Amino acid sequence: MRVKVPPHLKELWVRKEAHAHAKQAVLLDQGGSEKGDKLAMTRFLALFILMSAFAVSVGLSSDHASAASVYCDQHSVGGTAYGLTYKTYIDAYGDPSCSGSRKAAYDYYAYVNQNNTNIDNDYARAWECGTLLYSYGPTYRSSFGPGAWNILWGGWGGLNSCGFQADLHVRYWATGYFDFWTYTNF
Amino acid sequence: MTRIWNTLRTKRPFLTLAVLLLALAAATVLVSSNVSVEAGGSAARFSPQDAAAQAQVLANEQLTQTLSKAGSDGLPLVQVNGHAVRVADLTQVELAYHSNASSVASSGGEIESRLAGNYNVWVAVWKRADVSMRDWNGAAGTIIVGLVFEDGTGRLLSANVGRINPNKK
């Protein structure tokens, strides 16, 4: 059975429907805004985590820092020939640690396994970022050895902010037997 | 491609940025790992010819400061064929590349060196036996030159230059 709706009631019904749709639209907008906030927060957190991961990866790819220690490293050179053994070395120290802008120190050593060896310390030098701090030598020692680690010179070398920089040139000799020069570049 | 990029950029800006950051982080890690692999790998920056040429330059410099310098009589300490000894008078017995090394030694023990850190280095050794030593009353001596220098830069790290009388102990 069909009922004929009067025009004024039909218009009222249309307005009511429109109002209901508008109300729903407002509710949807409010709900969408809350969801948008959550989404934005999630995106922000995701970006933060990614950027942190990026920073960590960059940090990992950088040079490793040296472990804190007073004794830092050694550079040595030596040789053996026909029963003769000799060795020259530089020990590097940092105070209070080995890395960064720390005070640096060097000990210059020589060793030989033969009696009555002469030693000429031609020079023992150190630099700070390319600037010469000292050049010790030449000095001479006779009746050197055998078998002992003999310190030739020890000195503070400023800062090691550019890394340790030192070298040593030593001559071991016994007339008619041997004559060797060693050069050590730390 | 441009269309996809524009769509991503306008409709998914956060996702696009996140993917780019992730790719950048991954690339950074890959590059850093490649650098360390190269430093520890076997590829030398010097060719053997480059290394030999650099070794000769360094050896002659060291000889000038040692066996070739003037003695108390004004003459070179060691002469070969009437001139101050040069590396060309010696026989090269070793030229070896060592990668990522903290200590190196020649096969005959002519030079041994501990390095402050890890280096890519070349070890070079020359010798010559039976050289008459004027200041040793003509006794025959063996000349030894050993070097350790950095690959690529040629920087001298260690040197050992001298002479020994094999018949005297």
Cα–Cα distance measured from residue B129 to residue B146, given in angstroms and rounded to the nearest whole number: 15
Pure H helices in B41-137: 48-65
Task: Please tell me whether residues B61 and B30 are part of one structural domain.
Answer: no
pLDDT cut 90: percent of chain A above it: 36
B18 touches chain A (CB under 8 A): yes
Coil, strand or helix: which one is A176? coil
Q: Is residue B101 part of a domain?
A: yes
Is a pLDDT exceeding 50 seen at residue B26? Answer: no
Task: Please tell me whether residues B91 and B131 are part of one structural domain.
Answer: yes
pLDDT cut 70: percent of chain B above it: 75
Q: Is residue B169 part of a domain?
A: no
The shortest CB-CB distance from B14 to any of A47, A76, A77 is to: A47
Contacts of B164 in chain A (CB under 8 A): 81-82, 84, 177-180
Mutate to test the interface with A, among B93, B113, B157 (most CBs of A within 10 A): B113
A71-185: CATH number? 2.60.40
Q: Residue-wise over A52-84: b if at least 16 C-beta within 10 A, else e? A: eebeebeeeeeeeebeeeeebbbbbbbbbbeeb
Residue among A136, A138, A125 nearest A165 (CA): A125
User: pLDDT tens for residues A42-63?
Assistant: 665 555 554 544 443 433 333 2
Taking the model in full, what pTM does it have?
Answer: 0.68
Domain count, chain B: 2
The radius of gyration of chain B from alpha carbons, rounded to an integer in Å, stands at: 26
What are the tokens at A102?
């720390």
Task: Please tell me whether residues B67 and B22 are part of one structural domain.
Answer: no
User: pLDDT tens for residues B36-70?
Assistant: 333 345 689 999 999 999 999 999 999 999 999 99
Pure H helices in B113-162: none
Mean pLDDT of chain B: 85
Cβ separation A54–B24 shorter than 8 A: yes
Lowest mean pLDDT among A35-44, A90-99, B158-167: A35-44
- Higher pLDDT, residue B40 or B121: B121
A149 Cα to chain B: minimum distance (Å) = 16
Residue among A97, A61, A90, A58 nearest A76 (CA): A90
Structural domain that includes position B12: 2-39
pLDDT cut 90: percent of chain B above it: 71
Beta A103-112 vs B156-164: how paired, if at all? unpaired
Q: Is residue B11 part of a domain?
A: yes
User: At B8, is the pLDDT very low, low, confident or very high (cuts 50, 70, 90)?
Assistant: low
Task: Please tell me whether residues B100 and B70 are part of one structural domain.
Answer: yes
Task: Please tell me whether residues B117 and B160 are part of one structural domain.
Answer: yes
Burial level of B109, CB count in 10 A (0-12/13-18/19+)?
middle
Name the percent of chain A in helix, strand, coil, to the closest 5.
30, 45, 25
User: At A156, is the pLDDT very low, low, confident or very high (cuts 50, 70, 90)?
Assistant: confident
Cα–Cα distance measured from residue B112 to residue A86, given in angstroms and rounded to the nearest whole number: 10
